[in-house]
Structure 1
Amino acid sequence: MSAASGHSVVILADLLIDGTGGDPIGDAGVIIEGNRIRAAGPRRRLGTLPGAADVVDLRGTNRVVMPGLVDAHSHLWHFFRGDVQVRQFDSPAYIVARAVRNAARRLDEGVTTTREMGTPENLDLGLRDAVADGVVSGPRIFASGMGLAVTGGMYGKQAPFRRQTMEFTGADEARRAVRRQIDAGVDFIKLFATAGIGERGHSQMTFEEVAAATDEGHKAGKTVAAHAIAADGIKICVRAGVDTIEHGKALDDEAVAMMRDAGVALVPTLAVGRTIAERAVELGRGAEVAENARRVLEVHQRSVRLAYEAGVKIVVGTDPAYGDSMARECELLVQTCLTPMEALVGATRRGAEILRHGDDFGTLEEGKRADLIVLARSPVEDIRALSEVEYVFKAGIAVRRPQAAR
């Protein structure tokens, strides 16, 4: 089932969530022509349906159609669903093979676009192009390549992790590193602005370094994402002009006010911390790690609530070291402070917006790319329904559908 060659597909469902944040629409549908949406909304406003269209009529089944998911913080190269650890010493060929498998899995879960946040040796650039060319199956990829870190920063002496970073010292070297990544073909720049993954991640980049890297990226039309844990580092990043804060585990009132006023979005990635808290012993990391993860998660959730109450835009991303899904991340965000609809907007429209592609995908509106999913029931009523994906359309092509519909 495909509309990519110019053929039409019509999907009729009991409920449509368009991703804009508006109320769900009953007795609704979407008309796809080629890889674009011709119309979306109430059935009565769709007009005459194309005569030769393939019609997927799901009315009377409680099915829900909504935009494809946008994972705003992913690492396709380093997660194994159900496996106990990430294998950092694997060869580039093995890393690519694992990423190819994970890309197909993410697409099957309804993720039609992903923002890759730092990959060893810029391997995500090739995967991005392979997906775009149809060589392998996966979400549309926006790739940062290797993240930028100060000399000896972020991963320190952990040699296998350092394959993921390009190191520099000083503002001039920061500019040079950004230029190298732009020349390599990255879609945006990732900075490891602070240390660590706990709530005490202290600043490592100076203001001058962050500002130089950000300025260089912006001059080339690239957005800049900053891994930033604690409030002091986050404030440096916001003053320097970055576009998004990744994680933001230990925010304070001043930091969230600065983010709101500057229009800097937060991508919290809560689920990975919850997984460590719940499964550390099973994963071979010990009871002490589990207890620390529970404490850090509480701090992290308080930070998300602080940002939310201040009016900071919250965007959904998974950081899936252990295969955490968008459904799980949304569930945890709803448990923390967001409404289900706010979580859905964060998982669709907001993700497209921080990629600067809000006019191309992320909502079900006329003229936009036909990325959409069909769920078995409404995630507005129960956000966990986001895991019950039955159909996935990416750019007008049905890449997943129930066995009975094949």
Structure 2
Amino acid sequence: MAGEKGFRRSLTLLDAVSVGLGAIIGAGIFVLIGIAAGLAGPAVVLAVLVSGLSASLTALSFAELGSALPRAGGVYEYGHTLLHPAVGFLMGWMWVAGNIVLGATASQGFGYYLSALVPSVNPRVAALALVVLVTLLNALGAKLSAVVNDVFVAVKVSVLLLLVAAGAALVKPENFQPFAPKGLLPVMEASALFYFAYIGFPRISTLAEEVKDPEKNIPRAILLALAVSAALYALVAVVAVGVAGYEALASSNAPLEEVARRVGVGWVVGVGGLVATFSVVLTSVMGQSRVFYAMARNREIPDKIAEINEKLGTPVYSVLLSGTVMLVLVALFDISRLAMVTSFLVLVSHVLTNVADVKLYLDGVDPPFRSPLRPWHAVAGAFTSLLLSLSVEKTALAMGLAVIAAGALWFFAYTRAQHGGNA
């Protein structure tokens, strides 16, 4: 069957951590921090912490599952192996759908930041060009993509640290009063939205067949990437609200660039926004393509997609599929309005991932990495993910359920057709 040659194990622990940071630190903090501030007011700082706590609990489940089942596809493989093939497919479907929108949102964020630096640039054209470029980079090889991403991650982390250092002395305490002007319910809604900013960490697990010593390096990379990004997010949120006030953040398409201008490092953070959103799109195509690859390997989508190019060592058709879908979304829609749908889909997939980790425990499997809270972190992770998923606005909930229904329809229709054809 197509795809049997397998991947090359070319990615180190540093590469894996960098992929996680590349996937996490991007559109969420550089773009959606403004939308979240508009919902929660100064309590956006609390929203960042709540969503980070939920992500941390789920990250422990991903670390255990990633060490026990180090196969390409990540969340898809966990559901497929431990729960049921149909459940696994829907988990992968939700994760891919969410991450395609995440990548498309980041590409549009790239366009906004570039047009802020170079006003003559059309933001949508810049976003489309970025998707084409990262698709090409992913097709040419995982190691090449990882090296580019390593450099970009170093730049954007440095930029955020610079923003925090430059802005700390200019924080105004009065900008945090009243702390939650719209009440606690909008804070939970903002937490659900801001979960979008953390959803990149599972992307590490989709590369399990390309990482060296995956049983050790996958869990280490997941936890390290999430810890670094959560600490940065908390610091940046406090400085952003303290310097600019939540109203200014909420009214800007490039909120951190607004903060940076006020502290005298505007162009530096503008460049950081470009680099951050670039790396999110780069790793987004990388992660999606590996889930498509795993689905094709199990003949749940056309198995041609699972072919790995012998010279490049990449699933070229899967990469092209990921890039093409993202390109269409960027060309036709204002993706930022779909960010809440992304959060809902990924949160539901994380509920089921935590359930899969509980199943791993109940089956008596001792993975190479074991959480000190096992299995209660998974129970708590499932609960908090479910709570946040139900906190999204009603339109996003309805759209998310429609995406899940479409996935179920595809799975049962396609697998039935395959079974009939093979009978």
TM-score normalized by structure 2? 0.22
TM-score normalized by structure 1? 0.23
Structure with higher RCO (Cα < 8 A, 6+ apart): 2
